[in-house]
Amino acid sequence: MDFQTWWLIFVPLLFALGWIAARVDFRQMLSETRSLPNSYFKGLNFLLNEEPDRAIDAFVEVAKLDPETTELHFALGSLFRRRGEMERAIRVHQSLLSRSDLPQADREAAQHELAQDFLKAGMLDRAEQAYEAVLDTRFAVPAVRALIRIYESEHDWPRAIDAVKRLRALVDEPVPQLVHYHCEMALTALSAKPADLAAAEAALDAADNAARELRKDNGSAASEVRIAILRARLAAAQGNSEGERKYLVSVLNIAPQYGSLVAADVLESHRRLGQADEGLELLRDHYARHPSLDVFNVIFREIRGTQGHRPAWAFAREALRAHPSMLGLDRLLEVELAMGEKRPLEYSELAGHDANGEPGAAAPSAVLEIAAGADFSLLRSIIHRHTQRLDRYACRVCGFEARNFYWQCPGCNGWETYQPRRLEEIR
């Protein structure tokens, strides 16, 4: 390439222009720094000295003088909320909302942040109002989700259902807990005095529709199990014993692992129809295929009460041999103690003699090993001390343990997180 003489002028000119631009930028930066109010630097100093209250007051003053500090307030508010300092977070966001010159986008963001502050602080009424104020903004989806949680905590199931419908209009995603909302409404109607059977049936029909939609998205069987259990309760309230039995037995087919929740009711429904033996055989067949502690307990109690201790212990021996369980042994001894109050269990009977001392059928060897000379009360108390911590249900998400089965965890508020099996059975 040929050398051009005018390059000698052009290159130095470029350097000169760059130097001038740099000087202008530096002066502008110094000018902007000088224009910052003293309150800004006071606020930073207070933060460094761990005086957050005075820092907030200083930054509030900065916000009134300089609208460009809005992002600083949002950052401070979020920081205080994460630290659990809810009063300070609320003050920061309320100070933003009190400004008349705040841009609309920032006002909506501040309102949403304030709603989160109220929710975390447990001020549900104020949180609800704050979230409702941003339902028509870009924060509509998170606001509706938060409102659903609020209505859940208040057990306001009709409003929770309406909120879910609004969420479905905004985003196309399944909401599994919708089935349980309808079930809660049905439970409320059935628990009323007198029971509102029409409202309960309508709520269960709605629950069926919601479950059908979930089935398309591979929903779990737990919601269908709960519907069947409530349908059985409704049928019983209507005097329909056959319908009650049908719904309870359907649980064993829909989700066999939930048989422990309905085993006692299945047996009782058969008894009301004069089919106690058929109900017992059904449970024994179910236990053979899907063993669980609660089903074992129901079967043992029934055999012990109707057929005597020998068949009951024979069943228990085979069951505990196939599925060893400290809880099972604890329940077995509990029944024996309860029965002993009505009719003391004589060792002569266990050893192969009847109550009159005549030779009889030999008792199972397992019975002799446990009962020969044993103090059932002492034996049970020792075992019971070690099984108390195992006789619980546990949430898969947060680990919250409870003696009763819950469809919604009292700890993390998650739905269908409890397994229908005791801790000993899942460890």
**Residues annotated in the binding site, as ranges?**
395, 398, 409, 412
Return binding residues for Fe cation.
395, 398, 409, 412
What whole-number distance in Å separates Cα of residue 197 and Cα of residue 137?
41
**CA-atom Rg of the chain in angstroms:** 35
Joined together, the tokens standing for residue 320 give 């505990």
How far from the centroid of its chain's Cα atoms is residue 184's Cα?
Answer: 14
The encoded tokens of residue 352 equal 């192969």
Characterize the bridge pairing of strands 393-394 and 401-402: antiparallel
Residue whose C-alpha is closest to residue 121's, from 144, 98, 89, 93: 89
Q: How far is CA 265 from CA 189, 274, 309, 415, in A?
A: 20, 14, 23, 24
With a CB cutoff of 8 Å and minimum separation 6, the contacts of 174 are: 213, 214, 217, 219
Give phi and psi for 359, each to the nearest 5: -60, 140
Q: Token digits for 109?
A: 């963001």
Sequence-separated (6 or more) residues with CB below 8 Å from residue 12: none
The helix/strand/coil state of 66 is coil
